[in-house]
Structure 1
């Protein structure tokens, strides 16, 4: 079986984990990636079932948008493929030219539908948005798909009247865990950081966020912990943020601070991540990974998508909203209590792939 797959191809560890989970789950499917980003040939070089469609020219419609392609009808031989999977998280955000973007990204699933081929959306959340027309227009768009599975109930509730809409928890909970004893635990605190200067809606909190991260790093350093600053996506400014924090901390703490930048080596990044005693996480998937690996985690909530999934998992209450960080004191950083049955959560997360499993005949 040959399937097209579209995602956020920007070397973001969270989105690359979506792809890893997908490829691991269906080793007998040939996956054709709708990107000309050569990096992905390297990231998944050990997968014989992954092909980069190098001839396509990419148009990016906003930083967090799924890739779409110009003149797609002329570039793809649609008959060669059995269907399409779009897998990603924040891929339905309202932008200034959302109507034009929606028209563009409807081309591929519409063409496939007319050829009686199936398209699937896996792992997404919906929003943020301010225009109800944005919701209504996406109802028409979702009708092009065999199945749409959101990752939070808030997104699902907007479209639950549609028969092809479902909900399950985040797809990264399907990641195969290496339960070997090869992970060397360190007395370390991991920080997942984002660059607020690149986010218009959060830019006003940039100074407070930076100041508090510096304060927290120095606090845990004084307690004897080593510090790992994790950059999940260099393109979105995580690495520059990590470098900025390391520059700002006191000289006496610098030797204890390491920067771990995701460079496309998923396994190496996860080994470092799993070695931490505590994660203070801003990135959405920094929290998901901590829960998956049973690491204590304190969320810094910068988006409703984080708040919504914590709600769904009955883990609301711990953590801090980024807009309230000024009031945060280091001694009040209390991790999420370990009250979820992670095996049950992981089992439920397989439902993200329920419709695709049936389509490819996996189960």
Structure 2
């Protein structure tokens, strides 16, 4: 048996969740293999470097989101032009002799984790990015194992069908949620298997026990990435401010604002400035997964937006309340049978009282809630055995 494999994953992502997916797959699935890691840009060992890759939204992004995005004719033209330029002048020309050589040597490509195929706009066709990678693998004689990915949302039937058609080219496909599997089944790919996200398997760190007050972590997202308008974004910020103020007024707690994605920190800082007179509130900028786990060891509750802020919380047996901005968040809560703790971010103001009441109950009964999360985690760890079984069969 060849003990070498090639992985392509989001190793260059500024999102700590994406970084953890790659690490966990390597630790939990292919630890006995010699691994060559590539990013989706086909660059070997293209691991995220905060000094080089750190990004912030430019003033041009802000002007576009505030004044232009809602003008449909202009927005449509820009969206079509961006995809045309990307597909014809970047994706079609993207190649890597290092990747091709590694695939020839190993004969195995693992596409690992994350939301790999999705379209937030009806003018894009993300399945073609995936197809481009599969074309290279086929040309070099490599078989493909797709590990714990998500697909969707899609804006039209053509995008959905093409995504499933491309997945069906792979020798083995394991998906991370029921909706991704549903997309496959209704489009004729009935052998795609459902498991769970590998990050659920992270080892739980020891919890800090000498705190003065309970601590609630709130993961803040730049809501505009979901396609929210400037007005919706401002409404979201105002509702978060109301939520934090309500938590501060009725609970004796500390509140930490953070994100697992670098792109969100402008929003985190905006929120921090609005709440600067509230002594119970602080902002924390994370630079690594180690910092994330250390910070989490202090938390009694996480109110999350970014999906992996909550997946990591479950791995650390921390109770969670979710603010859903995309289908993948809803699906995660369905996976763990905790949909009552998930609220639509677009209608946040309707749920503020309920979220505050639920937060108070979790803080009051924290040990019982932690034990419930431990039960959920053990079930998820067992579900990941499906991935191991499929991979062993794939490699045999």
How far 1:354 moved relative to its partner?
3.1
Q: TM-score, normalised by structure 2?
A: 0.74
Secondary structure of 1:125's counterpart equals strand
1:283 equivalent among 306, 312, 315: 306
How far 1:106 moved relative to its partner?
1.8
In the alignment, what sits opposite 1:2? 4
Contact kept in structure 1, 2:330 and 2:342, CA below 8 Å: no
In the alignment, what sits opposite 2:270? 244
Q: Which structure 2 segments of 5+ residues have no match?
A: 51-81, 85-89, 363-368
The answer to whether 1:232 aligns with 2:260 is yes
| CA deviation map 1:67-122 (0-9, x unaligned) | 968342645323123321222322211245544x5334323323423554221222
The answer to whether 1:329 aligns with 2:329 is no
Contact kept in structure 1, 2:177 and 2:335, CA below 8 Å: yes
2:25 equivalent among 7, 22, 37: 22
How far 1:37 moved relative to its partner?
8.8
How far 1:247 moved relative to its partner?
0.1
CA distance in 2, matches of 1:319, 1:181: 25
Question: Between Structure 1 and Structure 2, which shows a larger proportion of helix residues?
Answer: 2
How far 1:312 moved relative to its partner?
3.0
How far 1:250 moved relative to its partner?
4.8
CA distance in 1, matches of 2:181, 2:267: 33
In the alignment, what sits opposite 2:64? none
CA distance in 1, matches of 2:91, 2:392: 25
Q: Which structure 1 segments of 5+ residues have no match?
A: 44-59
How far 1:281 moved relative to its partner?
0.8
Q: 1:126 to 1:247 in 2, by over 3 A?
A: same
Q: Which moved more, 1:182-191 or 1:283-292?
A: 182-191
- 1:311-322 matches, within 5 Å, as 311-322=334-345
Contact kept in structure 2, 1:218 and 1:250, CA below 8 Å: no
- 1:177-188 matches, within 5 Å, as 177-178=204-205, 180=206, 187-188=214-215
Q: 1:227 to 1:110 in 2, by over 3 A?
A: same
Q: 1:200 to 1:331 in 2, by over 3 A?
A: closer
In the alignment, what sits opposite 1:122? 147
Contact kept in structure 1, 2:219 and 2:303, CA below 8 Å: yes
Q: 1:92 to 1:233 in 2, by over 3 A?
A: same
| CA deviation map 1:234-281 (0-9, x unaligned) | 1x3x11111111100151x1x433322231x21221110231111111
RMSD: 3.1
In the alignment, what sits opposite 1:168? 195
Contact kept in structure 1, 2:320 and 2:341, CA below 8 Å: no
CA distance in 2, matches of 1:172, 1:103: 27
Q: 1:19 to 1:28 in 2, by over 3 A?
A: same
How far 1:219 moved relative to its partner?
3.1
Q: TM-score, normalised by structure 1?
A: 0.80
CA distance in 1, matches of 2:340, 2:113: 26
- 1:1-363 matches, within 5 Å, as 1-8=3-10, 9-25=12-28, 26-35=30-39, 36=43, 40=47, 70-72=93-95, 74=97, 76-77=100-101, 78-94=103-119, 95-96=121-122, 98-99=124-125, 101-113=126-138, 115-160=140-185, 161-162=188-189, 164-178=191-205, 180=206, 187-201=214-228, 203-222=230-249, 223-234=251-262, 236=263, 238-251=264-277, 253=278, 255-263=279-287, 265-330=288-353, 332-333=355-356, 334=358, 338=372, 341-360=376-395
In the alignment, what sits opposite 2:77? none
CA distance in 2, matches of 1:109, 1:247: 46
Secondary structure of 2:147's counterpart equals strand
Contact kept in structure 1, 2:181 and 2:193, CA below 8 Å: yes
Contact kept in structure 2, 1:292 and 1:342, CA below 8 Å: yes
CA distance in 2, matches of 1:202, 1:89: 25
Q: 1:17 to 1:41 in 2, by over 3 A?
A: closer
Secondary structure of 2:145's counterpart equals strand
Contact kept in structure 1, 2:174 and 2:195, CA below 8 Å: yes
CA distance in 2, matches of 1:321, 1:107: 35
How far 1:344 moved relative to its partner?
1.6
| CA deviation map 1:289-319 (0-9, x unaligned) | 2222222211111111111221232211223
Contact kept in structure 1, 2:303 and 2:321, CA below 8 Å: yes
